[in-house]
Amino acid sequence: MRQIVFTDLDGTLLDLVTYSYEKSLAGVNRLKEIGVPLIFCSAKTRAEQEVYRRKLGIFHPFIVENGGAIFIPRGYFPFSFEYHKSVAELLVIELGTSYKEVGQLLGKVREESGFHFRGFGDMSDEEVAEETGLDIDSAKLAKQREYDETLVIASEAKQSHITSGEIDKFLQKIKQAGLNWTHGGRFYGVMGDNDKGKAVKIVTGLYREMWGAIETIGLGDSLNDLPMLSTVDIPILVQKRDYTWENIDVPNLRKVQGIGPEGWSRAIKEIFGG
């Protein structure tokens, strides 16, 4: 049976603070060696993910912005399938609401709720860099959003006068506006009716059409990975920076020792050897 691996990036394949993939490189190289596709499934934008695809030599399909879209290299699958548009040599299956529409709906929520938040679209490149720890060039790529918005809520920006109850009310307002939200390691993502799990199911279906029976593995670290982990055959959680695991309840969930990329490589070794 052929296998494919879906992975989150920040806090999983990449260190949450430094964004380094040094400690996961052994696992990445093992998958390349044995021909197992590695599918990025992240909140990161297409522009951000393409950097890591080039650096790591990973040229499989990839899922952006919490399932907002799937990008598939032209000719990757030896059959035709439905897609919405093409960008360079990538075919795009769009599952999410456009960034413009998400922004308009968030604007209405801001007016009606009076709640203080800032999206990456409200910030300069320098401000995004400061919030995320990215360098300026990477911050520019993070701002190139197409399907969701990343929010910094006041309490997340060290303004403790915002209570958890107020945040809960704000998140309810987002739902009432017809949007969905997810919480990653540090930020809130706001999007339409898409999630990582829906995108994973579509990609899995394409591989099944190509190969027949397959086994899917998913690796993540935080709550926004729940839809992905709920969809794959073997769900795996790596540790967060405080050596704990996210409180996620998924059948057959494996919890691996090791923070972020260290745990990621350990999990790959346990499954694939090397």
Strands ordered across the beta sheet of 117-119: 117-119, 148-153, 188-191, 180-183
CB atoms within 10 A of CB 177: 18
Quote the CA–CA distance of 81 and 69 in Å, as a whole number. 15
Phi, psi torsion values for 236, nearest 5 degrees: -130, 135
Quote the CA–CA distance of 251 and 249 in Å, as a whole number. 7
The one catalytic residue among 8, 10, 15, 225: 8
Active site residue 125: no
Phi-psi region of 18 (alpha: psi -120 to 50; beta: other; left: phi over 0): alpha
Those residues whose C-beta lies under 8 Å from the C-beta of residue 223, and which sit 6 or more positions away, are: 182, 183, 184, 246, 248
- Active site (catalytic) residues: 8
